[in-house]
Amino acid sequence: MIISVCGKPSTGKSTFFKAATLAEVEIAPHPFTTIKSQEGIAFVKIPCVDKEFNKQCNPRYGYCVDHQRFLPIKLYDIPGLIEDAHLGEGLGLEFLNDIREADVLIHIIDISGSTDEKGNSVPALSHDPLKDVRFLERELDYWYLSILKKGWDRFVKALRVDNLNIKQSLEKQLSGLKVTEEIIETAVKKLKLLHHPSEWNDNDLINLARELRKATKPIVIAANKIDVAGSEMYFEKLKEEFQDYKVIPCSADSEIALREASKHKLISYIPGVDNFTIINESKLSREQLNALNYIKNNVLKKYNSTGVQDVLNYAVFDLLKYIAIFPGGVNKLQDSEGRVLPDCFLMPEKSTALDFAFKIHTDIGNNFVKAINVKTKQAVGKDHLLKNLDVIEIKTSK
């Protein structure tokens, strides 16, 4: 699973990345602070099943707070894209290639309208952030089109001479973008491209590129800087104009402040919630107290969270439709070192008990006999479809 943070320069991409990972990244109010992709570990949040067993889990990876389990995922911060990136402007092709392997994109928008088309700071509300959504769509669509059209004449000629399968041939040409035969077939049917590819015109090709992009690079929009006065106007306009997207209000700056304060044990805070508790007020300056109160009143109470955790969870569980599965035993939830429910795996939807066995270890998959749903204590076969938050015991022949 590859999740990439993208958008134009200076919208808060690196701020969001730091808020999600607490990685040390350079953040500055000018374009191209990030000049190469960066990788970090972020976390998605699920209700931990340990509460159902009246236990406290001990994760090997990630962590658990108040029965809220945080599972690690990889997050990539892509350098800012500018207009005509698909033509190579601003190292655009290099940056776009960093997106190639992404399974889902988090598009960071400066919803306060204080960043222009080139990533320069401008007065708040002076730039229409709706333009930024169209900008990214256009750059991605024409990037897909450029890959689709590369060697197109030779491709069409080969189809005629060798009577090749269109879907298989297109899949081979676009495999780097994770385009499959099924995706191609669905797009071709939707666009009614029933005639031979040699007769497809430029309009047909850009429409096909757009459909393939939508299928392989789903997008969630993080409406960042929602805490800036007046931003809600653009937020409502964005939701109305782009109803095909999930638009989540976000304040990455606020999330960093809360996580840093929690890290230094000044407050008690769980990412993704609508409140925090001050632990040691005497160690906070008046400026820090004012900042925390501002976040509480203008972000958390208003939008129920800073939005950062919501964006990550939506990307993984709603767009990619992953499910969280715990390995465990009917009679024993501990591992050999005494850790309770130490592991939890993110699996694609429609994963089976056998898929889960192989996820744990190849030998366990190869020697699979049956699985047991630990919650219900019922035995299930290898083709049993797993559900989110299942706890599964695998029985093997060895």
pLDDT (tens digit per residue) in 308-358: 999 999 999 999 999 999 999 999 999 989 999 999 999 999 999 999 999
What is the pLDDT, as a whole number, of residue 168?
80
What is the pLDDT, as a whole number, of residue 218?
97
What is the pLDDT, as a whole number, of residue 54?
95
Averaged pLDDT score across all residues of the chain: 90
Q: Which residues of 96-106 are buried (b: 16+ CB within 10 A; e: fewer)?
A: bebbeebbbbb
The counts of H helices and E strands in the chain are 14, 14
CA of 110: how far to CAs of 98, 107, 313, in Å? 22, 10, 20
Give the residue among 279, 281, 255 at the shortest CA–CA distance from 268: 279
With a cut of 50, say whether residue 279 has pLDDT above it: yes
What is the pLDDT, as a whole number, of residue 348?
97
What is the pLDDT, as a whole number, of residue 164?
60
Instruction: List alpha helices for 71-151, DSSP H.
Output: 92-99, 130-149
CA of 315: how far to CAs of 3, 47, 62, 318, 389, in Å? 8, 17, 18, 6, 18
Integer Cα distance of 393 and 383 in angstroms: 15
Give the residue among 223, 168, 217 at the shortest CA–CA distance from 197: 168
- Burial class from Cβ neighbours inside 10 Å (0-12, 13-18, 19+) for residue 7 reads buried
Rg (CA), the chain: 24
Integer Cα distance of 85 and 255 in angstroms: 30
What is the pLDDT, as a whole number, of residue 159?
75
What is the pLDDT, as a whole number, of residue 26?
44
Q: Which residue has the higher pLDDT, 104 or 198?
A: 104
What is the pLDDT, as a whole number, of residue 58?
96
User: How large a percentage of the chain has pLDDT more than 70?
Assistant: 92
Contact 308, 19 (CB under 8 A): yes
What is the pLDDT, as a whole number, of residue 27?
43
Residues 41-47, mean pLDDT to the nearest whole number: 97
Model confidence at 86, in pLDDT bands (50, 70, 90)?
low
- Reading the block at residue 379, the tokens are 């035995």
Model confidence at 87, in pLDDT bands (50, 70, 90)?
low
